[in-house]
Chain A
């Protein structure tokens, strides 16, 4: 029940000062997290708009809504925006930015100014990429494959590549900041073994950001140089090897999938522990699994190239190595499930997202094993099977985790509770909409429908209509949280410091937290997820 007496507004990071300047020049990691939140939400809906165009076009077998060249641009821009401008920064730059210092008990990230610079770089890169898209677009696919991108495409490849290049540096800065913070800013007593699994996963993510991103940066730079000066590094007419581009591209872009999924796993670990009221089963294994995924992720990239003409012997090595990633991923899924066992499970909204994540990620991961085995990959390569697979990982996995985390920490971010009923409804809509959208695509792919075509044979129409229908449900599911989150900023119930009665340092400070996070530096004397020490009682509904 809402209190009638409004509590005296505490000094916090939101009301400490006002005005555009106090936000644009802030070095507070929480405010920068919110800047990122607003920007990537914008990009998410823009990318979603292009997705809508794709699904509308595919409603009918003929290419009637747009011509092939426009369709090429639309799916390319959908991919580039979603991958580089939404998924990669999503959890690390929003929730990671906001929570990493809070969780390790620090005042801020190690380099607050670099953190702000990373947001500006992100916006600059985003604007450059958008400029390229508005002034003619780009049609290479988000993968920029050569020789099409270097020689044949007549679109704004260079501009968009430079945009992606710039956002790459924002990603590097975020990763670098998180790594240094985890190493050097932990509160007294916060040993590595006491870190929340959220931190472990973000640390692993940062390793990928720091070590992988520069490689795609240089690769895109070489593509741009090749287009501008007609030199040949990837162009076979000039002596180069187009496959080298694919090697360098996937050296980053395969691990980039783990930049998207590891932070989601980070969120899921926190949610599952909180709503099962239990310590995560096998903490050490889950922590090390994060690091293992980060390392193994770099050993498997050429499974994207089985049919591209690489040596069959190399393909066998990469195929075998690809199966390795399944081990730490499975460790995580099993350990979350084991955590549920005999836990006192609560079905609140974040937990619904966590369940959604575990199920969808499992399907996405297992179909990944299909693609890692050469024989099946040859059959389904570049079909909708692949599209369905990576959407199960990136949307079913990464976006589910992102939304779950956003709900879980919304009271901490805003100081308000979201309306539980609506939230549950949207979680349900997203789960159903997602499956109706993408499960038919597994079938389509297996039946042989290739990706990236505006037209298709008539026998595929039923499944495509189903997919488009699902996408409409999905769209409603995504718009709902946007509305009720904004609504809750004003009308939501006051949350209090710890509405979920959760463990973790971030819940031990007020909501929203003060600018320097903690009134006094916390001293940690307990293990992570000490739920057996926290009373079973579901938190106070209203603090005051």
Chain B
């Protein structure tokens, strides 16, 4: 089989990075950054998720279609969240004043 196999060394590197990132996200949450707290927490979570997906789930070494499937899933989740929020974010508009 010619598939490129990730080495144990890579796995260990990813493992340590994941643990460090977990530490960072807990530490950062102790500092009050206002709305940026959520942004940073989610960014770190996304980096961690990417590491797992690319290396542990071997998407890096998989056919392109795998990535397409993942992107489609995230895109559809985006549709659900974004279009639902059009309702909730604009519901109070124009209720006051007049």
Contact = CB atoms under 8 A, between A and B. Distances in A.
Contacts of A310: 87, 91
A247 interface: yes
Contacts of B65: 183
Nearest to B85: A314
B79 A247 contact: no
Given A299-B83, A302-B87, A317-B86, A311 B93 contact: yes
A298 interface: yes
Contact of A211 (B76, B83, B89, B93): B76
Interface in A296-311: 298-299, 301-302, 310-311
A215 B93 contact: no
A222 to B, nearest CB: 15
Contacts of A244: 84
Given A251-B80, A313-B93, A211 B86 contact: no
Interface residues of B, number: 16
A311 B72 contact: no
A314 B79 contact: no
B83 A313 contact: no
Interface in A194-240: 207, 211, 215
B97 to A, nearest CB: 15
Contacts of B83: 299, 301-302, 314, 317-318
A323 to B, nearest CB: 16
B56 to A, nearest CB: 23
Contacts of A299: 79, 83
A314 B80 contact: no
Given A251-B80, A311-B93, A211 B73 contact: yes
Nearest to B80: A251
B55 to A, nearest CB: 25
A313 B76 contact: no
A313 B90 contact: yes
A270 B67 CA distance: 33
B20 to A, nearest CB: 33
Contact of A298 (B73, B76, B90, B91): B76
Nearest to A315: B87
B86 A314 contact: yes
A298 B84 CA distance: 12
Interface in B60-98: 65, 72-73, 76, 79-80, 83-84, 86-91, 93-94
Interface string A233-256: 000000000011001000100000
A244 B80 CA distance: 11
Interface of B: 65, 72-73, 76, 79-80, 83-84, 86-91, 93-94
Interface of A: 183, 207, 211, 215, 243-244, 247, 251, 298-299, 301-302, 310-314, 317-318
Nearest first, the 6 A-B pairs at minimum CB distance are A314-B87, A313-B90, A311-B91, A311-B90, A314-B86, A211-B76
